[in-house]
Amino acid sequence: MNVKGTSKSCKQIDVQALAVAVFKGEKPNSGFLKDLDKQVGGLISNVIQTEEFAAKEGETAYFHLTNSGLKAKRLLLIGCDERAEYKAAQISQFGGTAARFLRGKNAKTIAIAPRVEGDAQQTAQMVIQSAVMGLFEPDKYRTKDKEKRELKEIVVVIEGADEKAVQRGAERGGIVGEAVNYTRDLANEPGGYMTPTILAARAKETSREFGLTFDVLDQRQMEKLGMGSLLGVSRGSDEPPKLIVMKYEPKRVKRGKKLLALVGKGITFDSGGISLKPGENMELMKYDMTGAATVIGTMRAIAQLKPSIPVLGVAPCSENLPSGKATKPGDILVAMTGKTIEVINTDAEGRLVLADAIAYAKKLGATQIIDMATLTGAVSVALGDVNAGILGTDQALIDRVIDAGKGVGEKFWQLPLDKEYSAQIKSDIADIKNVGGRKAGTITAAAFLKEFADGVSWAHLDIAGTAWGDDAKAYRAKGPTGVAVRTLIEFVERSARDQTS
């Protein structure tokens, strides 16, 4: 699919359909909307005056045009509610809605006019990446009733802006949007088609395509390194574990600079192990490797956007299944750091694989670590599907991640990590235990990870409540959301700018 950016007038864009943002209470009596209304023979003023269209968020009005002043033969108005609230998240929803709606009408070429003043490149990037994300469908394995309609071209229109800036933003938006969809595709794969070995092969393929350094540790290498925590999880499966390592290095790396590591949980299927999960909805546990998918997708985009700082991606991958070989509740595991872990519940496995991965990232020289995982059901209880949880030991890092999320329309809510919570994971027979009881489940999971993140700047993202959308939205399909990919890319690019300024 081709993506473009232009600063030309909407009436000059030769596409099949044009989508335009309209705000609540707005009247077509001046400026852009007045001119557009004139070009389409008063259709806009008519639907507003009759109150058929009130520009509520996500509301649409769709017209086939005849004898208009536009080259486009179809016009879509999309309500964006109050102009004052039209920020990153709303702009993203607008872009996704435009692409999904018009593809549904079998348009092949479309233009999207977000009507935003300010940074043209940033706006263009936001619109295109959300439009590309809007086209993702989870129907890969359907043989009928499959979405076959395709958009061939998307043009973002920011009238009067710097043409080159708009085009740059469009190109970058295409890269980010494709990276998010790549992540979603990985997360959507059934466990039988996405084993640790297959996920490692996909990461290797991506690394080769985009010029990343790639390595993968097998079980034997992990045994030599003493990764007993990760290996304790994989013990119940016939599928061997893998530890994926990807690295982006800019052409010029300044010595003494920080090394950021992104670490993502890669449980390619989670039955709960001996502590077996209920059967209802267990099929969704194919998405328990979303943290690893997020790392791979983010690294894919970073390799193309080429920021001026190095970035390390680490993904510990395993299945969590019950068998005669599986780790049992009450067993003791020895992590790479030598710390001993009493396993209380084998369904608290994500923190076990992350523990060794965080330790390994430190061994590779990471000074700053952001880990991400579909880690706890408790985060869904606390925050629902609106905010992802964030915790850590470096407040400045946490604040920067949250701010990067705001910049791209993703929400993160900080939970406390007071030292008192660590008392809940103290074990009677080992150094720590892998669960701390029913209270503060998301926090005690982070407290467990904190034991392995000492000595580095660290933040933890619990995306269990936001990585999967139970219902389809006007701007997004049901299924994997790709949450945090855009935030992490934004964070990396801001960090690069900060280090070079």
- Is 277 an active-site residue? yes
At 469, which helix (H) or strand (E)? strand 468-469
Residue that has been written with the tokens 């190095």 in this structure: 310
Is 477:362 a contact under the CB 8 Å cutoff?
no
Cα distance between residue 80 and residue 75, in whole Å: 16
- Is 242 an active-site residue? no
DSSP collapsed to 3 states, 254-286: CCCCCCEEEEECEEEEECCCCCCCCCCCHHHHH
Q: CB burial class (10 A; 0-12, 13-18, 19+) of residue 60?
A: middle
Q: Helix 163-188 and helix 485-500: axis angle, to 10°?
A: 130
Question: Cα torsion for 163, 166, 169, 170, to the nearest 10°?
Answer: -100
Check 108, 277, 406, 494 and give the catalytic one. Answer: 277
Q: How far is CA 71 from CA 4, 40, 60, 222, 375, in A?
A: 17, 11, 21, 61, 50
Gyration radius of the chain's alpha carbons: 24
Q: CB burial class (10 A; 0-12, 13-18, 19+) of residue 447?
A: buried
DSSP characters over 288-323 = GGHHHHHHHHHHHHHHHH--SS-EEEEEEEEEE--S
Check 351, 400, 450, 476 and give the catalytic one. Answer: 351
Cα distance between residue 268 and residue 284, in whole Å: 11
Helix (H, G, I), strand (E, B) or coil at 154: strand
Size of the chain in residues: 501
Is 494:400 a contact under the CB 8 Å cutoff?
yes
Helix (H, G, I), strand (E, B) or coil at 218: coil
Q: Positive or negative, the Cα torsion across 478, 446, 201, 193?
A: negative
At 63, which helix (H) or strand (E)? strand 60-64
Q: Which residues are catalytic?
A: 277, 351
